[in-house]
Amino acid sequence: MTAIDPRITAGVDGSAGARAAVAWAARIASLRHLELKIAHGLRVAGRYYGGGLSGAGAETLFDAIRADGERAVADARALAAAVDRDLTITSQVHNDPPVPALIDESRHARLLVVAHTGAGGFTGMLVGGTAASVAAHAHCPVAVVRGRHGATAVPEAGPVAVGIDGSPNSEPAIAVAFEEASLRGVPLVAVHAWTDTTAEDPRGPTRPEAGEAAEDRLLTQRLAGRPEKYPDVGIRRVLVRDRPRHALLDVSAEAQLVVVGSRGRGGFTGMVLGSTSQALVQHARCPVLVVRPQRKG
C-alpha cells in the first residue's frame, strides 16, 4: 500500500479560484497541524504540440510556460504563509499536465484540494476539467473549493453537512464529516433523502408512509456510535423525501462544507462519481469534500 504523508496538497494554476483554494487549504492544514504542499502541472500539450514549433522554439515556449507555473506556485506559497506563518509549506512544478500530476500527488496526501474551476476552464463551464477528473480518480479525499454562488468568497461559518444514503460508500464520508465538524467546533447536519422522486412529482412518492419510519431507523443506524466518539459535535438530522442532490444543494447554502461519498446506492457499476457528488461539485454553494473508499493494495 502506498505510504500516506501527513500533508494536504493544493493544486494551483494562478487563477482567482485557485488562490481561494490555496487559502482554504492553508487554513485546514493549520487547523490539523499538517504540512501543505502546493503543486502545479504544466498545461503544455495544447500550447505548441502540432503547432509547428520544434527545437529551440518549442524549448523556449516550454521554459516560458514553466516560468508561469513557478510564478503561480510562488504566489500561492506567499498566500499560504500569510494564513499561518508557522505553516510548513513545500511545492513542486510537475512537467506532467494537471490531472495526472494531481492524481499522482493524491497517492501520498491525506487531502487534495482543487478549485471548482481555474485557468483552464472555459466561459460557462461550471466545473473545470481538472476538478471533475481529479475528484473522480484521486486516491485520497478531494475538496473542491466553491464559494457562495460560485464566488471566490468561500464561507468559513456554518455547520458541516454530510449526505447519508445507506450505501457502503457513505460510511467513510460519515467518519470524515464528524472529524471535520469536531475540528472546526461546529454542528453536523446529517442529511438522508430517501426517495428518487421529488415531493412535487405528479406520480407521488415511490414508497408508502411506513417506509419513512424505516428510513429514519436507517439514519439512526448509520449514526450509531458517532455521538459517543464525538460528544462535542451537535447533530441535526434531516430526513426528507427528495432527491439526495436537491436536499444537499439546499443545505450547502448554510454549510461551510458538504461531505459526500464518491458514489451512492443509486450509482452504476463502473461509475467513479455518482450523480449526487457530480451535482454538488458543479452547483454547491460551499466547498465539497468527496470521499472515495480507501483503495487496497
Domain boundary among 87, 111, 146: 146
234 domain residue, yes or no: yes
CA distance 239 to 221: 13
Domain boundary among 124, 146, 168: 146
- 253's CB contacts (< 8 A; 6+ apart) are 148, 285, 286
214 domain residue, yes or no: yes
Report which of residues 53 and 70 the model is more confident about.
Answer: 70
Residues 130 and 11: beta-carbon distance below 8 Å: yes
**Number of Cβ within a 10 Å radius of residue 161:** 29
Q: Same domain, yes or no, for 137 and 17?
A: yes
pLDDT of residue 270: 38
For the chain, what percent of residues have pLDDT higher than 70? 78
pLDDT of residue 44: 64
Q: Same domain, yes or no, for 277 and 192?
A: yes
pLDDT of residue 45: 53
> Average per-residue pLDDT in the chain?
82
Report which of residues 47 and 77 the model is more confident about.
Answer: 77
Q: Same domain, yes or no, for 75 and 170?
A: no
Q: Mean pLDDT lowest for which of 39-48, 172-181, 232-241, 279-288? A: 39-48
pLDDT of residue 174: 95
User: What CATH number does the domain containing 11 carry?
Assistant: 3.40.50.620
Q: Same domain, yes or no, for 130 and 188?
A: no
Q: Same domain, yes or no, for 142 and 11?
A: yes
pLDDT of residue 42: 87
Residue 81 lies in domain: 7-146
Q: Same domain, yes or no, for 182 and 256?
A: yes
Question: For 19-37, what is the mean pLDDT?
Answer: 95
155 domain residue, yes or no: no
Question: For 213-240, what is the mean pLDDT?
Answer: 93
Confidence of residue 140 (pLDDT cuts 50, 70, 90): very high
Find the helix or strand (DSSP H, E) in which 257 lies. Answer: strand 257-261
Q: Mean pLDDT lowest for which of 43-57, 211-225, 244-258? A: 43-57
266 domain residue, yes or no: yes
Single pTM value for the model: 0.84
296 domain residue, yes or no: no
Q: Same domain, yes or no, for 142 and 166?
A: no
- The region, left, alpha or beta by phi > 0 then psi within -120 to 50, assigned to residue 146 is beta
Q: Same domain, yes or no, for 268 and 171?
A: yes
297 domain residue, yes or no: no
pLDDT of residue 286: 95
Convert the pLDDT of each residue in 158-204 to its tens digit. Answer: 999 999 987 777 889 999 999 999 999 999 999 998 764 444 444 44
Domain boundary among 146, 177, 192: 146
pLDDT of residue 252: 95
pLDDT of residue 275: 80
Lookup: cell for 203: 406520480
Q: Mean pLDDT lowest for which of 34-48, 210-224, 239-253? A: 34-48
152 domain residue, yes or no: no
In three-state form (DSSP H/G/I as H, E/B as E, the rest C), the secondary structure along 5-49 is CCEEEEECCCCHHHHHHHHHHHHHHHHHCCEEEEEEECCCHHHHC
CA distance 164 to 174: 7
273 domain residue, yes or no: yes
pLDDT of residue 269: 38
Q: Is the pLDDT score of 94 beyond 90?
A: yes
Q: Same domain, yes or no, for 194 and 102?
A: no
Q: Same domain, yes or no, for 15 and 128?
A: yes
Q: Same domain, yes or no, for 127 and 164?
A: no
CA distance 294 to 297: 10
User: What CATH number does the domain containing 224 carry?
Assistant: 3.40.50.12370
Number of domains in the chain: 2
Q: Same domain, yes or no, for 87 and 166?
A: no
